Amino acid sequence: QVQLVESGGGSVQTGGSLRLSCVASGNRFSRAIMSWYRQTPGNQRDLVAFITADGRTNHVDSVKGRFTISRDNAKNTVYLEMNSLKPEDTAVYYCRYNESKLYWGQGTQVTVSS
C-alpha cells in the first residue's frame, strides 16, 4: 500500500504561482510513473502532466510553458511548479502513483481569482 500526501495548494490571483508537492510512502517511488491530475466539480479528472521513472516529462497543451513537473527520488516527492496561473486552472489537484498498481492522493485545492 502506497500513501500519497499532497500539499501546496491555496488561493492566488491571476498571474500568481504555486508549487504543489506530493510525498509517497514506500521504497519503490523511483520506479513509479508520477502524474498530476485536476478536477473541477461535475467534471472528470484530467491529466495535467506526468514524469516517467527515467525523468521524461509530458505536459498537456493548456499548461505547457506555465507548469513544470519534476521529481526528487531521494525525497520520494513529485512537484508541480505552476506559474502564470489563470482562473481556469482552479481545480482540485491530485497526484497519481503508477507502479504495477495505481494510487491517488487526497487532493489539494488550487483557486485562482481574477
Can you tell me the distance from the alpha carbon of 9 to that of 29, in angstroms, rounded to the nearest whole number? 22
Which residues does 106 contact at the CB level (< 8 Å), separation at least 6? 4, 5, 6, 94
pLDDT tens digits, residue range 21-46? 999 999 999 999 999 999 999 999 99
What are 51-74's pLDDT values in tens digits?
999 999 999 999 999 999 999 999
- Nearest of 95, 96, 76 to residue 20 by alpha carbon: 95
Model confidence at 48, pLDDT cuts 50, 70, 90, reads very high
